[in-house]
A and B are shown apart, each in its own frame.
Chain A
Amino acid sequence: MIVNELKIPLVEGNKSYGQISDDLLANVERKPAKWWFAAMAVGTLMLAYGAWAVYQTIAVGLGTWGLTNAVGWGWDIINFVWWIGIGHAGTAFTIFFLVFRQKWAGSINRSAEAMTVFAVMCAGLFPVLHLGRPWLVFFILPYPNSREVWTNFNSPLFWDVLAISTYLLMSITLWYFGMIPDLATIRDRATNKVKKAIYGVLSMGWNGSMRVYSKYETVMKLLGGLAAPLVISVHTIVALDFAVSVLPGWHATILPPYFFVGAIFSGFAMVLTLMILMRKLFNLTEFVTGKHLENIAQVLKYGSLIIGLAYVTELFTAWYSGVNYEIHTFFNARATGTYAVGFWLMFAFNAVFPQFFWFKWARTNLVVLFIISVFINIGMWFERFIIIVSSLSQDFLPSSWTDYSPTLVDIGIYVGTFGLFFCGMLLFVRYIPIIAVNEVKPIARSERKKTQKTE
């Protein structure tokens, strides 16, 4: 056998199909480690804090939040936009894999999709609570009703409802359909009767028929193709919520592309953070190799360049427009004034630090990768904070200027969504293969063909 040592395979260790099943189903078939229970307990506590905050919001009202007359959108919309951004990575990975046929995305797209599903769930919570009377949320749906009104189809807020619910449905479909063959594998390997029955119901009678695989693959590709424009539209529409208003700092045509790139950027950063942890905790280093992480770092590098360009362009257009309000928002409020710390943190974390990824040592050093990915997550949160709060708290009328600070309830809802996200991800790593087994198998085989030759 000749081994080409110059080519680094995407799946290391020269594994057979049986070994791949054993390795990738270990998290489902073995009892969880102690840290899992500890993490679950922490997640549940966070969730409990969130539940208290949601109860306060509903029972007492929006007065429990830090909102003021001027700052009508606060932590709720900041965190909504932030979570939606995080939620963009999963579908992006699925598109990379299904549409652009990037094989390296095959080991990551399952967990990235899981992240998307939970992040979008967290995001969806905020606008609903922000209604003030969340039990009337159905008013936003266009159905013939006794109030004899229709929703305003010209409003981006309604588009948002449609875009995000479509996105959630689509992510769940892609995620679930992608894992049906894996669920069937778990079913067939299960020794426990209850487990066999549950995975049996979920796997829909999958039996590995190639004729079915062929149709299934076609439909998965179709879904991937349909998801591609959807990913672009979701954050574009979120950006339109801002861009169609008349506030300085929001009323800009650059916002939709800038938000879209920001979303992909923050999503990939979160994937990197979680992948570094998961590959260590579940011994997946042979499937998510340094090369995978390096590829994500490359995407982050270019995302960071575009984001940085957008920041500078915003400042430039504010100055070039000559409009006092714009100049005030960008230069007095954001770059040098009350919110300067947040602004420069955002700038450094999003536009400067990821530039280290031009160097190979940074892309291949796990500690650097991890720190920068966490920085990006924080930086993207600051970006949303700066956009929303600086524009609202210092608007056209100086007499109504005010400061903004969140209350314990605001913080509680945010912490609660983290609890939801962590619990969701922990349940995911317990019950579903973290890496798509049926997708990695053919990749491992073709990689083997590329690097080895039997005489």
Chain B
Amino acid sequence: MKTKQIVGIFDDEAKVVKALKTLKDQKVDIHDIYGPCADHDILKYLTKRTRIPHLAFFYGVMAIVLTFSFVYWVSVIDYPIRYGGKPLFSFPPMVVLMYLMTILTTATLSVFTLLARIKYYPGKAAKIIIPRVLDDQFAMLIQKPADADKVKAVLKESGAMEIREEDVE
């Protein structure tokens, strides 16, 4: 669904941060900011913490349990074979396998979770707000509020190069 947005275009992140500070004080909701790199001064105003690390922990636990069960099943139940008189169930080698499988599974599933969460996939057409947004410019998007003029004034005062209204999805 397309909504009316106020788009402020900046050429310097310091100006973006200045505008953000004022807008946050006025309790204006920022839709999103686009820029060439992850800027922590901007990010701290903007984001909620993602819960992907919690999921990753769950993936890790799952990998440990599944690897243990599988190796135990193979070496004790399905195909019990003695190597050099050693016990069928020996734990130390399983530690290595559980260690590696935890890393492999957690990493792979976290990456897929991220892609699903941000809805990115190979070949997706990018929705670029302004052409130079990944080069050296920043764009701030604000859902058009009732007092749009006030927001625009803040953007202007902070040093936006251009302010326009656009229908953005």
CB distance from B122 to the nearest CB of A (A): 5
CB closest chain-A residue, reference B73: A150
A18-B46 contact, Cβ under 8 Å, with A170-B107, A188-B128, A202-B122: no
**CB-defined contacts of A441 to chain B, threshold 8 Å:** 36-37
Q: Chain A: how many interface residues by the 8 Å CB criterion?
A: 59
CB distance from B168 to the nearest CB of A (A): 11
CB closest chain-A residue, reference B93: A154
CB closest chain-A residue, reference B120: A204
Task: Establish whether residues B56 and A204, one from each chain, have CB atoms under 8 Å apart when the complex forms.
Answer: no
Judge if B65 is at the interface, Cβ distance under 8 Å: no
Q: How distant is the Cα of A204 from the Cα of B35 in the complex, in angstroms?
A: 17
**CB-defined contacts of A21 to chain B, threshold 8 Å:** 36, 135-136
**CB-defined contacts of B147 to chain A, threshold 8 Å:** none
Task: Establish whether residues A154 and B90, one from each chain, have CB atoms under 8 Å apart when the complex forms.
Answer: yes
Q: Which of B68-121 contact A (CB under 8 A)?
A: 71, 74-75, 78-79, 83, 86, 90, 93-94, 96-97, 99-101, 103-104, 106-108, 110-111, 113-115, 117-118, 120-121
Judge if B129 is at the interface, Cβ distance under 8 Å: yes
Task: Establish whether residues B99 and A226, one from each chain, have CB atoms under 8 Å apart when the complex forms.
Answer: no
Q: Which of B31-85 contact A (CB under 8 A)?
A: 32-40, 42-43, 46-47, 49-50, 52-53, 56, 71, 74-75, 78-79, 83
Task: Establish whether residues B111 and A219, one from each chain, have CB atoms under 8 Å apart when the complex forms.
Answer: yes
CB closest chain-A residue, reference B84: A154
CB distance from A351 to the nearest CB of B (A): 30
CB closest chain-A residue, reference B49: A218
Q: Interface residue tally of chain B, by bracket?
A: 35 or more
The chain B residues found within 8 Å of chain A, CB to CB, are 13, 32-40, 42-43, 46-47, 49-50, 52-53, 56, 71, 74-75, 78-79, 83, 86, 90, 93-94, 96-97, 99-101, 103-104, 106-108, 110-111, 113-115, 117-118, 120-129, 131-136
The chain A residues found within 8 Å of chain B, CB to CB, are 16-18, 21, 142, 148-150, 152-154, 159, 162-163, 166, 169-170, 173, 177, 181, 184-185, 187-189, 200-219, 222-223, 226-227, 229-230, 233, 237, 437-439, 441-442, 445
Enumerate the 10 nearest inter-chain pairs by beta-carbon distance, A residue then B residue, closest first: A205-B124, A17-B136, A18-B136, A213-B38, A214-B47, A441-B37, A204-B120, A185-B134, A208-B34, A438-B37
